[in-house]
Amino acid sequence: MSVSESVWVIGAAMTPFGRYPEFDVVDLGARAAREALRDADCAIGQMQMVAVGNVFESMTGVGQRILHEIGQTGVPVHNVVNACATGATAIRTALLAIRAGEADLALAIGCEQLGKRGLLAAPEEPRGSEFTPRGRDGSVMDTEGLIGSTLMPGVFAEAGIRYLAENPGATVDHFFKIAQKNHGHSALNPYAQYRKEFSFDDIRAADMIAYPNTALMCSPTGDGAAAVVIASDAALAKLEPGVRDRAVRIAASVLVSDPFDEAAEASWDVNTVTRNAATQAYEQAGLGPSDLDLVELHDCFATAELLHYENLRLCEPGGAAEFLDSGAPWRDGAMPVNVSGGLLSKGHPLGATGVAGVFEIVSHLRGDAGDRQIDGARVGLAHVLGLGSSCAVHILERRAR
């Protein structure tokens, strides 16, 4: 093995997202892994390392448990957890092993049996009768909702309202439009958890969760898995022509965390990590936003998508509302965003999300996306944000033929 200049996706698969009470997380991960290996025309015995992302069962050796199902070969297994960026972190872990020359072929899996759970902050235990300082901040009472919020609906509601205050050209109607777009896109995606279109009025009238996000503007919980097989230049050269022709180059792989920001001590900054990750990714790939043919971004709530138009430099600062109104992020627009239906309707099984975004981009670059295909797609970007915070951006490029 030697250090590889390029890393390639040669196999990709995912389960439809949804509710699978009859399966466990190992069943789901093994299913996606087998399909990705089959897509790459490879066997588990050829993989030289495995990286598995999972959130809620991360302490149970999910990677080793999956290998019990698909083949135990003694290779290194990395179990990773990084909030909503968990799956993307698994991909990057495998990629770094290839770049370091420790592997030529690697398998990355993201999987989650989420059910109806969500990644919400757990309330503190009831306090006693004495106001005794406790916790890392030394507070004498629960600060939730008083000094910011750690509940995901609240965090992204605050971020959306802050954007409206700073950008008078944007209104809550733009958030409703984003949900309308993504639910419409999902109708064409057989992997989506929900495939129903909703009107603007349906979305606006739905149950309010955290203003301005209604229930139809929040990503659902669910179960699912996705997997990719990645290869070095040397490994790619030895594969069958049909596999080589379908290979997709990982032009950039970036993972960042929050820089210090005093204001973020009270209210999470959901923007800076994405801006920093995007800047590094474009530099690493030698490409810019204008080179992208489609984007899968982290729309955990409809408010998040509007902000990330600017954070990913898909439009000028302050231009997100105009960008949306132009029709650019629709499937038939100039810069399609979340053609999969996004997290709002494709679903958000936490550990699987980051790998599923890469799967979606790879499908389009290969021309395998069926009814939702973006014709002629050559370059795509997958973005995922895990509060805490971690942000991953992968830029993928179709292999020249």
Active site residues: 84
Tell me the three state secondary structure of residue 113: strand
CB atoms < 10 A from the CB of 102, how many?
A: 14
Tokens of 101: 């020359």
Closest among 381, 329, 330 to 358, alpha carbons compared: 381
- Give all strands (DSSP E) within 125-247, no chain letters: 208-210, 213-214, 223-232
Q: Would you list the DSSP string of 78-91?
A: EEE-BTBTHHHHHH
| Amino acid making up residue 105 | L
Tokens of 105: 């072929």
Relative orientation angle of helices 302-311 and 152-166, to the nearest 10 degrees = 50
What is the C-alpha separation between 10 and 375, in angstroms, rounded?
21
Q: What's the angle, vertex CA 367, arms to CA 362 and CA 371, rounded to 5?
A: 105
Query: Phi/psi of residue 169, each to 5°?
Result: -75, -10
CB atoms < 10 A from the CB of 261, how many?
A: 12
Q: What's the angle, vertex CA 385, arms to CA 201 and CA 155, rounded to 5?
A: 55
